[in-house]
Amino acid sequence: MEQNKAQSTSGITFSILVALSISHCLNDSLQSVISAVYPLFKEDLGLSFAQIGLITLVYQLAASVFQPLTGLFFDKWPSAWSLPTGMSFTLVGLLSLAFANSLPWVLCSVALVGVGSSVFHPEASRLTSLASGGKRGLAQSLFQVGGNLGGSLGPLLAAVFVAPYGRRHIALFAILAFIAIMVMIPVGHWYKGLLLRLKREDRGVGANRVEMPLPLGQTIFSISILLILIFSKYIYMASLNSYYTFYLIEKFGVSVQASQLFLFTFLIATAIGTLMGGPIGDRVGRKYVIWASILGAAPFTLMMPHVDNLYLTAILSFCVGLTLSSAFPAILVYAQELLPYKLGLVSGLFFGFAFGVAGIASAVLGNMADRYGIESVYNVCGYMPLIGLVTWFLPNLKKKK
């Protein structure tokens, strides 16, 4: 594929990868503010766990349904300025969320933030692949670790700047959205230059002149297996991202601020695991990383509900974050290698499916928590990583190469 030739001849473009990682950090720190301030919304607006789940559902659906469509659209009609446009939706959504005083207003605000995410992820993932110089696992890990770092900083920033002063201080995060737009502008200029160069050479970034590594039927089957793995991973991650603070508050009696600090520790572990997953997959093969990541989390998820010590619970959640998070870079790059000429569509499909699963899971788990108690969520979700056994059916693309 001529696109791949462009990558290999130009080499890895670290400046662009760093800018994309910083953008991902800022984007996901803004996205994670939503779940971090759930306790404040629950208290101020008198919401139930089911309504908290509904907020997550609306946000995740807005952030997921549009992602494959966005990816497919920009596969056909690339735009150098899609990233700043998407971040503008996030900026407006955060300002609206800061002053929302009813559930419908909150839902509309988080939907705007979700739309911004649905534009950002497939486009930024595409640019990450184009700037990788062929080292897709490394590049994807650098990109993903920015997102995980941002996801961990969001609750910490919320604990410092929002929790002590009230929800109105969410508006301060619009400053980060503006900074993200400024970081994205040089990336847009680089992408515009790349598009012009490829146009002069009479080839596009979406040219599909490369053979797929597997027959169509086996490709569809493999993508289905990867989506099942995403399903198992993000159901459990939803239980932690949305309800871990409530779990710690109810079971151990910690304060809202302390619970957010423990959530920060878990999210830092996800950043470390993400940084490890891609390069290891480049070296030993993506399938082995997926095996170790999904199934490797099972002992910790099964133990955590039965532990009555706060700090041991924090250690187990750290181990869960470290192992589970290493799977996504390997899964995404594996899928991109299956369909190398549809980078936007594949990225949007997997990011979107991950967000959608998390949103639906949050709504279902919220109802479960209301009916059976918050601890029941972790008793049930602890078995999700065992679905990782389906990794057995994935072909080893590294051996085929």
CB 304 within 8 Å of CB 160: no
Contacts of 248 (CB under 8 A, 6+ apart): 254, 258, 259, 262, 310, 313
In terms of Cα–Cα distance, which of 160, 323, 308, 161 is closest to 240?
323
Low-confidence ranges of the chain (pLDDT < 50): 1-9, 205-208
Over 289-300, what HEC string results? HHHHHHHHCHHH
* DSSP letter assigned to residue 211: P
CB 59 within 8 Å of CB 111: yes
* DSSP letter assigned to residue 213: S
In terms of Cα–Cα distance, which of 346, 354, 65, 144 is closest to 237?
354
CB 281 within 8 Å of CB 333: yes
Query: How much is the pLDDT for 341?
Result: 77
Query: How much is the pLDDT for 257?
Result: 79
CA atoms of 163 and 375, how far apart (whole Å): 24
Q: Locate 105 and state its tokens.
A: 């207003």
Q: What is the CA radius of gyration of the chain?
A: 20
CA atoms of 271 and 144, how far apart (whole Å): 8
Q: Locate 290 and state its tokens.
A: 């997926």
Q: How far is CA 291 from the centre of its chain?
A: 20
In terms of Cα–Cα distance, which of 380, 382, 390 is closest to 331?
390
Query: How much is the pLDDT for 314?
Result: 92
Query: How much is the pLDDT for 203?
Result: 53
Angle at 336 between CA 180 and CA 179, to 5 degrees: 0
CA atoms of 385 and 388, how far apart (whole Å): 6
Q: Locate 20 and state its tokens.
A: 């994309």
In terms of Cα–Cα distance, which of 277, 141, 205, 218 is closest to 3?
205
Angle at 64 between CA 327 and CA 37, to 5 degrees: 85
For the chain, what is the largest distance between any 2 Cα atoms, rounded to a whole number of angstroms? 64
**Cβ burial, residue 336 (10 Å; 0-12/13-18/19+):** buried
Alpha helices by DSSP H, listed for 173-326, are: 174-200, 216-252, 256-284, 286-296, 298-303, 310-325
Classify the C-alpha dihedral 376-377-378-383 as positive or negative. positive
Query: How much is the pLDDT for 202?
Result: 59
In terms of Cα–Cα distance, which of 182, 200, 68, 173 is closest to 121?
68
Q: Locate 208 and state its tokens.
A: 């599909």
Classify the C-alpha dihedral 342-347-352-357 as positive or negative. positive
Contacts of 349 (CB under 8 A, 6+ apart): 67, 68, 71, 335
